[in-house]
Amino acid sequence: MARIPLLTGPNYRTWRKQIEILLRSRDLWDAVSPPPPSTEEEEEKEEEASDEPPPPPSPWASELIFSHCAPSPLSLIIYEKTASAQWGLLKTMYAPGLDQLIEGFWGFEAPAGMGVQGIARRLDKMQEDIGEICGGGRAGRVARKVAPLLALKRVWGGRGRERLAEWEWRVYEGGCEYEHAVRVLVACEGVVKAEAEMARGVGRGRGQSRKRVGGGR
């Protein structure tokens, strides 16, 4: 397994995901993010099954977090008594704010060459980050499918943007189903690529014809 870089601050979002996976793999995640309390009926069944007291929070979770922090973040959390408190303080200090995340979601600029599937995955990741701040919520169903459409409009130019405008109504044809919108945009992307390839082929053919004509003079 590749070594996880130490938390320095700017790398918080990637670091947090990597450390969460590591904590879960070692059955330490409950010490950081305790599960919601069970119902009274479930608690009664648990008491009947065992009279043993619940185990204390694992200090191993804190040790793992400490060992993956650079000196500055470590100094912020070293005196917090629980892994949950340490994790929460790091989130408060380094996680991007809700306004920043929402602005990034709606204004996402896809890098050159990124296709529809890549854009959808990136936007889904942004929604996960927003959900963590909003208590697990996501953007509305309409917003989820409008966002990739807007991102494509920004990244596509020329004929691609014209074709996208022709297909836009199909995005909304499926009601509010996000998966339908992605399928439509993937199909549109395929048409745009095929047309671009055909245009390049025609251009190459014309160029070769000119060379043959010019060479015969």
Q: Is the pLDDT of residue 193 over 70?
A: yes
Q: What is the pLDDT of residue 29?
A: 93
Q: What is the pLDDT of residue 162?
A: 83
Q: How far is CA 174 from CA 106, 150, 186, 189, in A?
A: 22, 18, 15, 18
pLDDT in tens, 47-60: 555 555 555 557 99
> Domain for residue 50, yes or no?
no
Query: Are residue 81 and residue 188 in the same domain, yes or no?
Result: no
Q: How many residues does the chain have?
A: 217
* C-beta separation of 133 from 90 below 8 A: no
Query: Are residue 91 and residue 102 in the same domain, yes or no?
Result: no
- Contacts of residue 89, defined as CB under 8 A and 6 or more positions apart, other chains included, come to 76, 77, 80
Q: What is the pLDDT of residue 28?
A: 93
| Closest of 140, 163, 141, 164 to residue 152, by C-alpha | 164
For the question of whether the overall pTM of this predicted structure is more than 0.75, the answer is no
Query: Are residue 106 and residue 205 in the same domain, yes or no?
Result: yes
> Domain for residue 164, yes or no?
yes
Q: How far apart are CA 142 and CA 98, in angstroms?
A: 20
Backbone angles phi, psi at 7, to 5 degrees: -70, 125
More confident residue, 155 or 66: 66
Q: How far apart are CA 101 and CA 103, in angstroms?
A: 5
| Closest of 31, 24, 91 to residue 56, by C-alpha | 31
Backbone angles phi, psi at 69, to 5 degrees: -115, 140
Q: How far apart are CA 94 and CA 6, in angstroms?
A: 14
Q: Is the pLDDT of residue 131 over 90?
A: no
Query: Are residue 126 and residue 66 in the same domain, yes or no?
Result: no
Q: pLDDT exceeding 90 applies to what percent of the chain?
A: 27
More confident residue, 206 or 144: 144
Residue 86: pLDDT band by 50, 70, 90 thresholds? very high
Chain position carrying tokens 């014309």: 206
Q: What is the pLDDT of residue 139?
A: 60
Domain that holds residue 20: 1-36+56-95
Q: What is the pLDDT of residue 40?
A: 61
Could you tell me how far CA 58 lies from the centroid of its own chain? Answer: 30
Query: Are residue 141 and residue 91 in the same domain, yes or no?
Result: no
Query: Are residue 207 and residue 107 in the same domain, yes or no?
Result: yes
Query: Are residue 7 and residue 72 in the same domain, yes or no?
Result: yes
Number of folded domains that form the chain: 2
> Domain for residue 44, yes or no?
no
> Domain for residue 153, yes or no?
yes
Q: pLDDT exceeding 70 applies to what percent of the chain?
A: 76
* C-beta separation of 199 from 162 below 8 A: no
Query: Are residue 196 and residue 154 in the same domain, yes or no?
Result: yes
Query: Are residue 66 and residue 127 in the same domain, yes or no?
Result: no
> Domain for residue 114, yes or no?
yes
> Domain for residue 41, yes or no?
no
Query: Are residue 144 and residue 87 in the same domain, yes or no?
Result: no
Query: Are residue 31 and residue 102 in the same domain, yes or no?
Result: no
Q: How far apart are CA 121 and CA 178, in angstroms?
A: 12
pLDDT in tens, 100-124: 888 888 888 888 888 899 998 988 8
More confident residue, 200 or 4: 4
